[in-house]
Structure 1
Amino acid sequence: MPTIETKTVMSITEDTCQSNELKAQQADKLSNHELLITSALTAFGTVMGTAALLSIHHRYRKQRQPDSSWQDYLTGICSQLHLLPSISKPPLMRFSSACQQAACAWQQAYRLPINDEHTSNNSLGTTDFSAMHTTTMLARPVCWVSGVAAMPKNTSLINDDSNDENDFGVVGIDADREIVWQTTMPERVHDIVVQPILNDQDNSLDSRQSCQNRDVVVMGRRPSEKFWVLDTATGQVKFAIKASDQRHFYGHACYSLDGSTLYVTENDTQSLDGKIGVYNAHDSYQKVAEFDSHGIGPHELIMHPDDETLVIANGGIKTEQASREELNLDIMLPSLVYLNRHEGKLLEQITPEHNQMSVRHLAMHNDGTVMIGIQFQGEKHINVPLVLTHKRGDTSFKPLTMPDNQWQRFHQYIASVAVDSERNLLCVTTPIGGCAAIFDLNSRTLINDVSLPDCAGASVLANSVLPNNVGSDINNDVKGEDKCKESGFIVSDGQGQLTKLHVDYLATVASTVINKVESISKDSKRHMMSFDNHLQAL
């Protein structure tokens, strides 16, 4: 008798499972059927509405123009189609992108139910970041990536009490300075680090595709304990990396030139000594080693062109865990350090002339010269040089020249440095001083500064073609291929502007003749967001 009951229960269970599966299949069919009906009704309504509007319009035309006919509409459509090839490429690209975005929105609005079993099998071993990060994108190539301190709010969620969406994020930007993708972040971010590619001279299709399929590391703002790895093409979060025990990050990182290893500035929260964390980019960014930075408060670090040497800006400022409070401004000791990237061996260490000249931001010239941005922590009336250079073997820093030594123009704060090695130009920004300045590295003098309130991020312009009338009179001074490229920088600011700063090449070869006011032109494009500290080119 117990055996019969057991078989009966098993039979009932099987019948129940089959019934549930049948109901699920029927629900899927019903959903597909509803989707087809909705699509058909939408198409039918569109056709009927268009026909009705055309009928009303044609009747009105007949009253005014008795000779008008239905053939006029077909003729007009054909004439517009013939004009399409003459339309410039950017509007067509924007129209195509808008269509793609509309298609994505339609698919999300009418998406089919997901098979839970199939999803769980495909996502095995992969973290789903969709609950923590929201990404919207258009299908266009990315030229720059920037952090954002104030993202546009989702208006549909404003009155939702459960909405905990914050303002922080990261955006990808195309050559037209339009936003390609934007991804929300759980906290404010700082440095943006793009994974390099080995052969950046190859312009083949495969090379361009690999350029877009790289990682971009987004560092949390000091003293964050996290950084994130995103896809450069889509903005999707791939990894979220947490700091080791008794460590926090200082907001900057750099890759080895082959893109296999990531180096991150960190703080030992017990001893307050600076550390360099080493992460394997080919193994889900697992931490594999750690070096001393040979200083306190390491901030930005960059890779030397020899791919063997790390260059580190030790800011010299002590901070405790989860705090931005400076603890040692009177006795701080900043330095620039060169380390062997494989063993962490100290190669060189140079200190500035004043112990409160915090060495903060760096850029590397192709010839191995380091460009240095200083943030002075001393009294406001003290005037010290804020933009320096150094090359291995030099015993001290070399300051650039400001007219009448007026470094106060930058209010003792340099936020970013960007170098154009081909044209020997350097751009620095200061949000406190409210300007971006461009230096000629040949003469080591200031070309000009441009007023840009709350500007911070700076990067070299993507390669683009100069107008035909620019550079025609300097054939003897500029190589042919250099004349075809745009000379200048792109600067981001907290007011939502992405500004191109175009440098008149004549200003750098004949600066005594050219009017300083006309040596730099600016072209700004505003977005409804507040860009953050750093902007990085792909």
Structure 2
Amino acid sequence: MSDGDTTVTRRRVLGGLGAAMAGIAMARPRTLWASSAGPAPGAPDFLVAARHDNGDYALIGLMRDGGIRFTLPLPARGHGGVVHPLRSEAVAVARRPGREALVIDCATGSESLRLTPPKGRVFYGHGAFSNDGRLLFTPENDYEAATGRIGIWDAADGYKRIDEIASGGVGPHEIRLESGGVTLLVANGGNATHPDTGREVLNPGTMQPNLVRIAVDDGRIVDAVQNEPALRLNSIRHLSTRPDGLAAAVMQWQGDAHERPPLMMLHKAGTAPRLLTAPEPAHAAMRNYAGSTAFNRAGDLVAMTSPVGGRIQVFGVETGGFRASLVAADVCGLAADPDSDGFLATDGRGRVLALLPDPAAEGGLRMTLRARHALAFDNHMIPL
């Protein structure tokens, strides 16, 4: 395909998406097939990648009570994924640098299709659907050019690969559709990597993460922020969003282990970012690594996890004030609790933990064990 043909195709694809989004005023916090009474019959409440005791990998259909609805074998270690807004379907994406993404029937727990990126591209573990469910966006690495790309797949036509756009940075990791489907929020981690060297960072001298918003109708960058130069080694990785456009982004420090940079950023387009930090020694206990983030159901609390530090930290959104630090070894998966204004979390010991509102507890949250399984949960909980 010539450059001219590519430009015409991109305008047609993205322009059509923009028209489809024009009639949608608000971002949907739940999929359309997940009614107010719960997900579609037979579907779980969350998807979580995991590893069995024998070393095999799997995708787990997890219920809010901690029960397992289904277990689907994975060919390699899983990471994150995305749920289709209209169909009882999800795409589970391999951990970076990954070369496979599985399309899953969420009601049955069966694989229906397997996606592979084009030559010269690898997946980075996450994805996002357009609000109408027609397009799937996947963050990818163009590893020869050491630049980020967003792949575009036609979910209405068997997930045919139809285009790609620039991510606005290097090492795009998690992406989210926001502002009623008008923009893609991209966490560009700044890490240049190559499949031949695995996860080794190849550009420590020039690394510069950023948080970018891209217009879905034409691929333009409409907003971008980055940390101050002293924090350029603070890789922006994972995201959570509120329907009003506020985003939480959490980071992983690639610099001197003795330094203690902030690990959470709150940002809304057109405003200055806010960096949140717990007081010492709670902040030091995170060990410079945040693995997941989530707003609670009410949107007034935001939390992050550190599997390295074995901590869950909670902040008040409006003031940015520190609320609580809870100890949970190897914890990483995090999501809003659908039944309260607290959170659910999963860890590498097979535990499903609930952080429930309790005025008598530290920071107003009490942690309880909801279930435990003979497996190790991996990084993220994907709400359905």
Partner of 1:142: 44
Measured in 2, the distance between the counterparts of 1:443 and 1:452 equals 26
Query: Which residue identity lines up with residue 346 of structure 2 in the other structure?
Result: S
**1:415–1:431 contact (8 Å) kept in structure 2:** yes
Once the two structures are superposed, the pairs formed by residues 328-367 of structure 1 within 5 Å of their partners are: 328-353=203-228, 354-367=231-244
Measured in 2, the distance between the counterparts of 1:515 and 1:489 equals 15
Secondary structure (helix, strand or coil) at the match of 1:258 reads coil
Structure 1 residues 406 and 450: CA distance shift in structure 2, 3 A: closer
- From the two aligned structures, give the one with the greater helix fraction: 1
Secondary structure (helix, strand or coil) at the match of 2:285 reads helix
Secondary structure (helix, strand or coil) at the match of 2:284 reads helix
Structure 1 residues 519 and 224: CA distance shift in structure 2, 3 A: closer
Query: Which residue identity lines up with residue 397 of structure 1 in the other structure?
Result: P
Equivalent of residue 410 in structure 1, options 281, 286, 289: 286
Please report how far the alpha carbon of residue 306 of structure 1 lies from its aligned counterpart in structure 2 after TM superposition. Answer: 2.5
- Structure 1, residues 137-162: CA drift from partner, whole Å, max 9, x if none? xx8441111001x2255xxxxxxxxx
**2:178–2:185 contact (8 Å) kept in structure 1:** yes
Measured in 2, the distance between the counterparts of 1:364 and 1:532 equals 21
Please report how far the alpha carbon of residue 239 of structure 1 lies from its aligned counterpart in structure 2 after TM superposition. Answer: 0.7
Once the two structures are superposed, the pairs formed by residues 155-166 of structure 1 within 5 Å of their partners are: none
Please report how far the alpha carbon of residue 456 of structure 1 lies from its aligned counterpart in structure 2 after TM superposition. Answer: 0.7
Structure 1 residues 515 and 525: CA distance shift in structure 2, 3 A: closer
**2:66–2:370 contact (8 Å) kept in structure 1:** no
Which deviates more from structure 2 when the two are superposed, residues 406-415 or residues 375-384?
406-415
Measured in 2, the distance between the counterparts of 1:515 and 1:142 equals 30
Partner of 2:114: 240
Query: Which residue identity lines up with residue 332 of structure 2 in the other structure?
Result: A
Partner of 1:422: 298
Counterpart check, 1:378 vs 2:255: yes
**2:143–2:192 contact (8 Å) kept in structure 1:** no
Secondary structure (helix, strand or coil) at the match of 2:190 reads coil
Measured in 2, the distance between the counterparts of 1:140 and 1:251 equals 26
Measured in 1, the distance between the counterparts of 2:268 and 2:364 equals 32
Measured in 1, the distance between the counterparts of 2:281 and 2:252 equals 16
Partner of 1:224: 98
Measured in 2, the distance between the counterparts of 1:333 and 1:517 equals 34
Query: Which residue identity lines up with residue 328 of structure 1 in the other structure?
Result: N
TM-score, normalising length: structure 2: 0.85
Kindly tell me the number of residue pairs found equivalent between the two proteins: 341
Counterpart check, 1:527 vs 2:373: yes
Once the two structures are superposed, the pairs formed by residues 19-38 of structure 1 within 5 Å of their partners are: none
Query: Which residue identity lines up with residue 393 of structure 1 in the other structure?
Result: G
Structure 1 residues 316 and 179: CA distance shift in structure 2, 3 A: same
Measured in 2, the distance between the counterparts of 1:503 and 1:400 equals 21
Q: CA RMSD in A?
A: 1.7
**1:144–1:173 contact (8 Å) kept in structure 2:** yes
Measured in 2, the distance between the counterparts of 1:453 and 1:390 equals 29
Secondary structure (helix, strand or coil) at the match of 1:282 reads helix
**1:448–1:520 contact (8 Å) kept in structure 2:** no
Measured in 2, the distance between the counterparts of 1:190 and 1:215 equals 17
Equivalent of residue 318 in structure 1, options 192, 195, 199: 192
Partner of 1:400: 276
Partner of 1:39: none
**1:501–1:523 contact (8 Å) kept in structure 2:** no
Measured in 1, the distance between the counterparts of 2:225 and 2:364 equals 38
TM-score, normalising length: structure 1: 0.61
Measured in 1, the distance between the counterparts of 2:314 and 2:280 equals 16
**1:365–1:420 contact (8 Å) kept in structure 2:** no
Once the two structures are superposed, the pairs formed by residues 182-193 of structure 1 within 5 Å of their partners are: 182-193=71-82
Equivalent of residue 256 in structure 1, options 102, 119, 130: 130
Counterpart check, 1:169 vs 2:58: yes
**2:298–2:341 contact (8 Å) kept in structure 1:** no
- Larger Rg belongs to: 1
**1:330–1:356 contact (8 Å) kept in structure 2:** no
- From the two aligned structures, give the one with the greater strand fraction: 2
- Structure 1, residues 429-474: CA drift from partner, whole Å, max 9, x if none? 1000101122221331121111110011111112x3xxxxxxxxxx
Query: Which residue identity lines up with residue 187 of structure 1 in the other structure?
Result: A
Please report how far the alpha carbon of residue 519 of structure 1 lies from its aligned counterpart in structure 2 after TM superposition. Answer: 3.5
Measured in 2, the distance between the counterparts of 1:522 and 1:438 equals 16
Please report how far the alpha carbon of residue 343 of structure 1 lies from its aligned counterpart in structure 2 after TM superposition. Answer: 1.7
Secondary structure (helix, strand or coil) at the match of 2:270 reads coil
Query: Which residue identity lines up with residue 351 of structure 1 in the other structure?
Result: Q
Partner of 1:128: none
Structure 2 unaligned spans of 5+? 1-40
**2:79–2:93 contact (8 Å) kept in structure 1:** yes
Measured in 2, the distance between the counterparts of 1:143 and 1:278 equals 27
**2:277–2:283 contact (8 Å) kept in structure 1:** no
Runs of 4+ off more than 3 Å:
none
Measured in 1, the distance between the counterparts of 2:277 and 2:80 equals 28
Measured in 2, the distance between the counterparts of 1:405 and 1:530 equals 28
Measured in 2, the distance between the counterparts of 1:518 and 1:441 equals 14
Measured in 1, the distance between the counterparts of 2:184 and 2:69 equals 32
Kindly indicate whether structure 1 or structure 2 has the higher relative contact order, using CA contacts under 8 Å at least 6 residues apart: 2
Secondary structure (helix, strand or coil) at the match of 1:251 reads coil
Please report how far the alpha carbon of residue 270 of structure 1 lies from its aligned counterpart in structure 2 after TM superposition. Answer: 1.5
